Structure 1
C-alpha cells in the first residue's frame, strides 16, 4: 500500500460514521481538497470497503487472513483490502485515544441575536464574529479545529491565524474552511453566499460522490444555489464583496436581489416577517439599493417607485409581489 493510500485509509477510518459536526471534518475536507489525487485515493478506499462490506465482517477478516498466507498470489486490489482491514483493526487502539484527545472540546458557545439587533462574539482563539440581526451560531473549539455552525442569518468572521487549527464554518450544505482571514457568510432559504474581504477561503459543497470545491480570494463572492440537498450549484458570481459587510455599519445592501432575499433580509429587522406573494413563472424584479437599518419601513413604502414591486400592508403584516 502506497503512502497516499494509507493516508486515505486512515481518513476513511476516522470519518466513517462521523457526525456532520465532527471536529475532524474540517481537516479532512482540507486534505481532500488539497489534490485531486487525494479525492481519487479516498474514493478507491471507499469503493474497496464497500466490496468488503458486501459480506459479513467475519468473512472479510477470513479473506484477509487467507490473503496474507498466499501473498505471492495477491492482486493489488487484495493488498489494498488487507491494508484497510489492518488500519481498521489497529486504528481502534492507540489512534483512537489520540484522536479523542485532539477532538476534545476546549471551549464552546452558542449565540443568537434578536430581531433588529446586531451582536459580537469574541472567541477564545482571538477570532471575532459579528452577527446580523436574527442570526444564530454554535461555536466549538478543539485542539484540532475551530468550528462554527451557522444555523440562520448572516455573520462576518474575522479569523485569527492558527495554521494548526483550521477554522470551519458549517452552513449546512456548504463547508467553508480557512486558516486566517475575514469573510462573511449569508444563509438564505435558497442561497448560501460567501464574500471574502481578505485572505483565502476554501468552499466544499454537496455529497461526497458529487462534491464541488471552490477557492475564493480577496474581493470575490461565491453562491451556492440550493435545489435539493443532492442537486446544488456552487459558482463564483459578479458581486461586490464589501456589500456583505455593510450591515455592521447599519446599512443593508442589495445587489440585484430578488424579492425572496429582500424579504428575508428585511425580516431580520421586523417583529413581523415580510412575506412574498406566490411567484409567477417569470424571473421577477431585482432590487439594487442601500438601506439604513433604521429606515426599513420607509424603504418598504418606497419599493414600488424603484422597481416593479407591489406592497400590501395589513397592520404590521407586509407582503411583496411582482407587478
Structure 2
C-alpha cells in the first residue's frame, strides 16, 4: 500500500452505527412533524414516548434541531428569504407564515445535505477529493460530492458508499474481511486496491491490485471474482452484469480531476461534471442526453469541460445563475 499523503484527513473517533443512523433519520422526521400545525395530544404523546424510549433519542433530536437551526440562520442572513412576505386574506396569516418558515427551513435542510449528513461518517463537497485514513490503517479517497459510512468491529470491516465514488487501499487483516456496500453491490477485498463508483444508472467496480469478490443482491449465489485489471458493471434497471478489461490509469483519472470516456453518453459525462459544480447542469432533451462522446476532459474545471463538449458535440451551453443548460 502506498505511503499516506500529508493531505489525508482522519476520520473522527466516533462513528455512526446502523442503529444511530436510523435514530438520526427518525429525529429529523420528528423535527418536521413537530413543526406542523394542528398537532394533537396523541402526536405529542407519541413523540414523548419516542424520547423516553432511549436517552440517545434525545441527543439525536437535539442534533437534528441544531441542523435545522443552521437552516433558519441561513434564511435570516439571506435578504431575499428574510424579506419574503405572505399577505393572506384571512386570519390564517400566522399559520401560513409559520408554514412558510418551516417549508423554507426544510428546503434548506435538504439543500445543505441534511439527510446525508445524518447518515454519513464522511462527505466530500464539490471540488473536494480528500484522502481519508480509516482506523484499521486502510485509506479511502473520495471523489467530489461523495459520501461514506463505516462500521468496524472485532470480526468485520464494512464501508457503505452512500453516494459517488471512492478508491480503497485496504490494510491486511485476515481475521476481519473488508467489505464495501454500494446499493445492491457488495465488494469484498481479496487484495489491496480497488475503485467503486455508485452512479445514477450503474455501479462500477475496478480492481487495480490483486482481486475482489463481487456479490449482487439479486444474484446472491453467483458471485464474481474480479482480478487486477478488470472492471465489473451492474445496471440498476436491467440488473445486467458486465465484466471486461480496464486500464487502471484511465479508470482512476478522476483522482487527477479528469474523465476519460470512450463512446459514453452525454448524461454520464454531465453526471461526473456535476460532482464538481455547486449548481445544476441540465441537458435539454433525452435524445441529446444519449448522444455519445469520447475523449479526455478536465471535469474538475467546469468551464474547460463545457468547452470540450461544445467542440466535440457542437452543443451550446448557457448559464442561468447556478444552472447550466446544454442544448443543440
State the TM-score, normalizing by the size of structure 2: 0.59
Distance in 2 separating the partners of 1:201 and 1:159: 11
Matched, 1:201 2:212: yes
Distance in 1 separating the partners of 2:318 and 2:244: 32
Per-residue CA distance 1:152-199 (angstroms, 9 max, x = gap): 111000011112111111101100111432011111110101111011
Partner of 2:133 in structure 1? 122
Matched, 1:240 2:247: yes
Distance in 2 separating the partners of 1:195 and 1:172: 16
Partner of 2:308 in structure 1? 302
Per-residue CA distance 1:13-32 (angstroms, 9 max, x = gap): xxxxxxxx79xxxxxxxxxx
Give the alignment partner of residue 230 of structure 2, picking from 213, 220, 227.
220
Partner of 1:139 in structure 2? 150
CA separation of 1:310/1:202 partners in 2, compared to 1, >3 Å: closer, same or farther? farther
Partner of 1:75 in structure 2? none
Partner of 1:162 in structure 2? 173
CA separation of 1:300/1:166 partners in 2, compared to 1, >3 Å: closer, same or farther? same
Partner of 2:88 in structure 1? none
Q: Secondary structure at the match of 2:240?
A: strand
Distance in 1 separating the partners of 2:290 and 2:215: 30
Partner of 1:260 in structure 2? 267
Q: Secondary structure at the match of 2:273?
A: helix
Per-residue CA distance 1:25-66 (angstroms, 9 max, x = gap): xxxxxxxxxxxxxxxxxxxxxxxxxxxxxxxxxxxxxxxxxx
Structure 1 residue ranges, 4+ long, deviating more than 6 angstroms after superposition: none
CA separation of 1:125/1:234 partners in 2, compared to 1, >3 Å: closer, same or farther? same
Q: Secondary structure at the match of 2:236?
A: strand
Query: What is the CA-CA distance between 1:109 and the residue it aligns to?
Result: 7.8
Query: What is the CA-CA distance between 1:110 and the residue it aligns to?
Result: 0.7
Query: What is the CA-CA distance between 1:283 and the residue it aligns to?
Result: 8.6
CA separation of 1:211/1:258 partners in 2, compared to 1, >3 Å: closer, same or farther? farther
Query: What is the CA-CA distance between 1:303 and the residue it aligns to?
Result: 0.8
CA separation of 1:316/1:302 partners in 2, compared to 1, >3 Å: closer, same or farther? farther
Partner of 1:249 in structure 2? 256
Structure 1: segments with no counterpart, 5+ residues: 1-20, 23-107
Distance in 2 separating the partners of 1:294 and 1:235: 28
Query: What is the CA-CA distance between 1:258 and the residue it aligns to?
Result: 1.3
Considering only aligned residues, what root-mean-square deviation do their CA atoms show, in Å?
2.5
CA separation of 1:129/1:175 partners in 2, compared to 1, >3 Å: closer, same or farther? same
Give the alignment partner of residue 292 of structure 1, picking from 287, 291, 298.
298
CA separation of 1:109/1:136 partners in 2, compared to 1, >3 Å: closer, same or farther? closer
Partner of 1:3 in structure 2? none
Q: Residues 169 and 194 of structure 2 are in contact (CA less than 8 Å); yes or no, is this contact kept in structure 1? A: yes
Query: How many residues are paired up?
Result: 212
Q: Residues 127 and 275 of structure 2 are in contact (CA less than 8 Å); yes or no, is this contact kept in structure 1? A: yes
Query: What is the CA-CA distance between 1:294 and the residue it aligns to?
Result: 4.7
Distance in 1 separating the partners of 2:128 and 2:308: 23
Q: Residues 162 and 180 of structure 1 are in contact (CA less than 8 Å); yes or no, is this contact kept in structure 2? A: no
State the TM-score, normalizing by the size of structure 1: 0.60
Q: Secondary structure at the match of 2:286?
A: coil
